[in-house]
Structure 1
Amino acid sequence: MQDDDKDNSLFMSEMRGVKPIRHDRADTGKPKADRQQIAQRRQAATLKPTSTKVDGLSDQFVIDVGAEDELYWARDGVQEGQMRKLKAGQVAFEGSLDLHGMTVEKARETLWDFLAEAAKLEIRCVRVTHGKAARLDGKRPLIKSHVNTWLRQHPQVLGFTSCLPRHGGTGALYVLLKRTMLEGRDE
């Protein structure tokens, strides 16, 4: 027992001047988090209207088109006869969207929502009026160029062509859409 007494006295001598801890939390050196500020930041992040919507439409490379350029595009596998009918205005459009005066981002969002709604309603053809604004800076029409690019990327779009003059001419497009109920017939 002599060793125990020796160890005990050695321990007590080493512990002389040490004060017991009064709390059970470690001090990490970091300031305490301001919970109210964190809550405000989270709320601001969720309410931000400028948040980027991931919709699959890229602006990486926009095909510039002229104000009077006629647009025409068909996805691989779409029958030429179908596209001829579309170009001749023989496929009735069941919905119409006007993008005049919108910013590029607003036009993009509106077009995406419009095509999603048309697909949900199993609509075969729609008209999209993009305008052909001759810009003051001499550059190509912005919305027309973007719409031309976006429609080529949209999974529901089978093809599109500029409208007949009575439906907007080179300032609008007939857009042929894929219908899911008739799978196999549209492609």
Structure 2
Amino acid sequence: MQDDDFSLFKDAVRGVKQITHDRADTGKTRRNQQQIAKRRAHATTSQVSLRIDGLSDQFVIDVAAEEELHWARDGVQDSQMRRLKAGQIAFEGSLDLHGLSVEKAREQMWAFIAEANRYEIRCVRITHGKAARLDGKRPLIKSHVNTWLRQHPQVLGFTSCLPRHGGTGSVYVMLKRTMLEGRDE
């Protein structure tokens, strides 16, 4: 009986070749570092020289991945900024910029703030991420968002979020409101 099993096994594995290496082929292509570097460089260069949104990329403030962001326009009360930082001003809209090119992030942020302004929204959250880049440089989108928000005419101030809302990968943004019936807070 054992001879029958052995001969059946030999017949079943006839023509099979022994594997000569111990690494599996996952089917994934290897990353082309030159192509990745070219895409990153292309993402940071502007395709259009004329800016109609007023946001400049001439000087971008580099920030670290875990760095807390905080900025307020002159005249904004410290107590309002403390409330914003503590998450006591509810955000009514949220935008996620993960995985976007710098140019696409700029467009989406500008459109998002414009829409929030139309609806008289006081506070929004923008998630920029804090990607630790492979080349050791600072987070690209986070640094640009930090710069753009300081330039945007509708932004009164911003601060990094509480951990439950994204921590240093997101910011609460306090916006101006026109409020037809009364003054802005």
C-alpha distance in 2 between matches for 1:155 and 1:113: 13
Indicate the SS of the match to 1:134.
coil
Q: How does 1:1-187 map to 2 (within 5 A)?
A: 51=48, 52-181=50-179, 184-186=183-185
Deviates further, 88-97 or 174-183: 174-183
5+ unaligned residues in a row in structure 1: which ranges? 1-49
Give 1:62 shift.
0.2
Q: How many residues align?
A: 137
C-alpha distance in 2 between matches for 1:159 and 1:140: 22
C-alpha distance in 2 between matches for 1:175 and 1:131: 15
C-alpha distance in 1 between matches for 2:131 and 2:82: 27
Deviates further, 157-166 or 173-182: 173-182
C-alpha distance in 1 between matches for 2:178 and 2:150: 18
Task: Specify the alignment match of 1:26 in structure 2.
Answer: none
Contact 2:157–2:174 (Cα < 8 Å) also in 1: yes
C-alpha distance in 2 between matches for 1:97 and 1:120: 16
> C-alpha root-mean-square deviation of aligned residues, in Å?
1.2
Task: Specify the alignment match of 2:29 in structure 1.
Answer: none
Indicate the SS of the match to 2:104.
helix
C-alpha distance in 1 between matches for 2:118 and 2:152: 14
Indicate the SS of the match to 2:125.
strand
Give 1:181 shift.
1.4
C-alpha distance in 2 between matches for 1:120 and 1:161: 22
Deviation per CA, 1:32-62, whole angstroms, max 9, x where unpaired?
xxxxxxxxxxxxxxxxxx5554100000100
Give 1:77 shift.
0.3
C-alpha distance in 1 between matches for 2:68 and 2:133: 18
| TM-score in terms of structure 1 length | 0.71
| TM-score in terms of structure 2 length | 0.72
Which protein shows a greater Rg? 1
Give 1:184 shift.
4.0
